[in-house]
Amino acid sequence: MSNRIKLSIFVVCSLLFYASVTSKSLDPYKILGVEKDATQRQIQKAFHKLSLQYHPDKNKNKGAQEKFAEINNAYEILSDEEKRKNYDMFGDARGSPGFDSRDGGSRGGHTFFRSGGPGQSGFTFSPDDWQTMGGQQGGSKSYSFSFGGNSGGSSFGFDIGDIFSNFFGGGGSMSGGFGGGGGGGGSQFGNSGGSRTGSQSSPKSSVTSVNSQIYKKQVIDKGVTWLLLSYTPLMKGMQHYESIIEEVASSLKGALDVGSVNCRVESSLCKELGIHPRNRPRVYVYSYKASESGSLLEYTGDVTVRDLKSFVQDHLPRFSKRVTWAQFEAESGTIGSLPKVMLLSTKKDTPVIWRALSGLYRKRFVFYDTQVQDASDPAAKKLGVNEVPAVVGWLSNGEKQVLKTGIHVKDMKSTIKEFSNILDEFEKKNKKIATASSQGKKPSADSATEKEPVVPLLTGTNFDAICGEKTPVCIIGVFRSSKGREKLHTILSSVSQKSLVRNLRDSVSYGLLDASNQSSFLYAFDKSGFKSSDRLFVAYKPRKSKFSAFTGDITSEEVEKFIGSVLNGDVQFSKTRQKPTFK
């Protein structure tokens, strides 16, 4: 009997001694070098820095691979709020304070020591279990001790009741087994730790899992830039790629969609697109930089947040035309069925939000953007904008409307959603006007003069853009009254459409001139300034400083004939007296 007691005591003491000697607590906070209250962004930055430093492909020093594994395991705990909370409370990412009793009971355990780091090995017991000693229904409890490496070690399980039965004359046995699921008072030695590879083999839920159907319906030609990751399960470096992509996606949330393609499952799609990964994941961007229809481009740069984000931003949609105010006034004469919208901002380049919107609505609006200094800028004043950034819209009939001023961006996603609602409402209004127009309802003469003309009114600001030396021929409709302006506007609108059909858009431009306010302009062509004519047309060739005037019957047919003769060289031109100027 004494030998059995000695053997039992020796077993327990040996286990406790071995575990205490081999215990090595790996603190994920210390591994990543962050404080306990670190934010997710701070954790991500620390992880990215360390993972690049110790990545086996770049760091060939001894121990780098082991360090890289520790960094990944630490990030796996701290990047998951549930695992982090469990670790902070119990020292174990699984939510238990060490090694649990095998009965699945509800009583809490207490960690006395730990080996191999959080969630890897340790010794736990519940004080109440020392009192059972076979007295409870179903006998005594079984516990396991585990001592292993990063991916889980081996465990040694035994029945506490067996040990104490040796002291108090119980009938338990100490039979041993390897890997068995021993019952009763038996002991077991088996694998208690699970592999973590599964958690690293596929992207997190925030990344859309893309198959052939999703690719065709949500990616191709939808005006949205996609960041795509192709991979196969258990692929090397998956967690590093995933964390980089998620941070880039978070910083461009609302302007960018993110997806992953499991090429083991979607082998036909990967083969069709040519994106099957080799020995590591591959990153692609569905880009609108090269064409309006979009194309899939592979990212081959360094897998860092800064570099990947820069690449993605470069491939966001660019369907908004960057113009000066003078250029826009010149182009406002173009007639079309789509409404126009312009962003006025202080930015030197088109903002990301406006680029994203231009992709989403590229088939429903014509987008422009221009740089202004502030609300005192002449362009802002002319448009009635009292605060910038601002968005101004023009319906297809030329009517102007200030859609939004003093834009404040809280975050990209909510701002894009807000502007989507504004554009949707503006589009509805444009459709109503188009419907009314098709049904023969025309705006009154008074309202027509108040709206922004489709054919621009020439001013000192926009004249060079419309009738400068780059323009072969400029057709100028001259009026002295509101009725005259209305009639010339209608004629030029009609003729310009016909000219466009004849592919003469690059050969001729159109503008209106208010002779009552700009009489000095006409002195360049005529000594009297055409004072005897209430309405007339002037064909001006700025490169040659020549002109020809039409003062005959002002009808669409006659004006069209005049313009046709001008372009065909059948009209005699005279030298200007001086260069036209505005007062």
Residues 6+ apart with CB under 8 A from 575: 545, 546
Per-residue pLDDT, averaged over 505-515, amounts to 81
Query: Token digits for 492?
Result: 């030029």
pLDDT > 70? residue 113: no
pTM score over 0.95: no
Give the whole-angstrom CA distance, residue 293 versus residue 353.
20
β-strands 473-479, 400-405 pairing:
unpaired
Give the whole-angstrom CA distance, residue 397 versus residue 433.
8
Q: Kindly report, residue by residue over 535-568, the tens digit of the pLDDT.
A: 899 999 999 999 999 988 888 888 888 888 888 8
Is the Cβ–Cβ distance between 401 and 341 less than 8 Å?
Answer: no
Residues 6+ apart with CB under 8 A from 305: 48, 244, 247, 248, 251
Is the Cβ–Cβ distance between 111 and 97 less than 8 Å?
Answer: yes
Per-residue pLDDT, averaged over 351-380, amounts to 92
SS3 497: helix
pLDDT > 70? residue 198: no
Per-residue pLDDT, averaged over 4-29, amounts to 58
Residues 6+ apart with CB under 8 A from 41: none
Across the chain, which distance is largest between two alpha carbons, in Å? 135
Q: Is the bond preceding residue 389 a cis peptide, omega within 30 degrees?
A: yes
pLDDT for 2 equals 59
**Unique residue bearing structure tokens 């023009």:** 394
Give the whole-angstrom CA distance, residue 45 versus residue 187.
46
- Cα–Cα distances in angstroms (integers) from residue 342 to residues 417, 419, 423, in the given order: 17, 12, 12
CA-based nearest residue to 139, from 181, 173, 96, 110 = 173
Residue 203, Cβ density class (10 Å: 0-12 exposed, 13-18 middle, ≥19 buried): buried
Query: Token digits for 444?
Result: 């009154």
Q: Kindly report, residue by residue over 147-194, the tens digit of the pLDDT.
A: 334 434 433 444 444 433 333 333 333 333 333 333 333 333 333 333
Residue 439, Cβ density class (10 Å: 0-12 exposed, 13-18 middle, ≥19 buried): exposed
Give the whole-angstrom CA distance, residue 438 versus residue 154.
81
Per-residue pLDDT, averaged over 240-260, amounts to 91
Higher per-residue confidence, 18 vs 135:
18
φ, ψ at 147 (rounded to 5°):
-135, 105
Residues 6+ apart with CB under 8 A from 334: none
pLDDT > 90? residue 73: no
pLDDT > 50? residue 23: no
**Unique residue bearing structure tokens 């076979």:** 134
Q: Kindly report, residue by residue over 434-450, the tens digit of the pLDDT.
A: 777 666 554 444 444 34
CA 477 to chain centre: 47
Q: Kindly report, residue by residue over 293-310, the tens digit of the pLDDT.
A: 788 999 999 999 999 999
Residues 6+ apart with CB under 8 A from 103: 141, 142
Query: Token digits for 326?
Result: 């003078």
